[in-house]
Amino acid sequence: MNGLGISIISTSKGIMTDAQARQLLGLARDLGINLIDTAPAYGVSEQRLGPLLQGQRDHWVVVSKVGEEFIDGQSHFDFSPAHTRRSVERSLQRLRTDR
């Protein structure tokens, strides 16, 4: 398994266009990369990835994280079981996947 950190499609500096992000994912896949690393703390990466992965979800292993989220620009940490469950559910919705 080879991975691609995806925060680069959503950071405040130099956000990629959808076309550039699609091209990056295509190149990564051609190079044998099959793991995408994302997180709610990476800005809008999960929201952007959902549509970009439609139709090719089975080709990717998607890894997200829990515990840190940004609310109104401030970092908040919560590793409680209830927050972890909600965070996973929200990530699955943003990524438009159920796995």
Which stretches of the chain are DSSP H helices?
Answer: 18-30, 45-53, 81-95
Q: Closest Cα partner for 91 from 52, 42, 39?
A: 39
Q: Convert the pLDDT of each residue in 5-37 to its tens digit.
A: 665 565 555 678 889 889 999 999 999 999 999
Record the pTM.
0.79
Give residue 45's pLDDT. 87
Assigned token pair, 39 = 């997180």
Domain residue limits, the chain: 3-95
Q: Convert the pLDDT of each residue in 31-76 to its tens digit.
A: 999 999 999 888 888 999 999 999 988 899 999 999 998 888 888 9
Considering Cα of 26, then 28, then 31, then 34, what sign does the dihedral take?
A: negative
CA-to-CA distance for 73 and 28, rounded, in angstroms? 31
Q: What are phi and psi of 26, to 5 degrees?
A: -65, -45
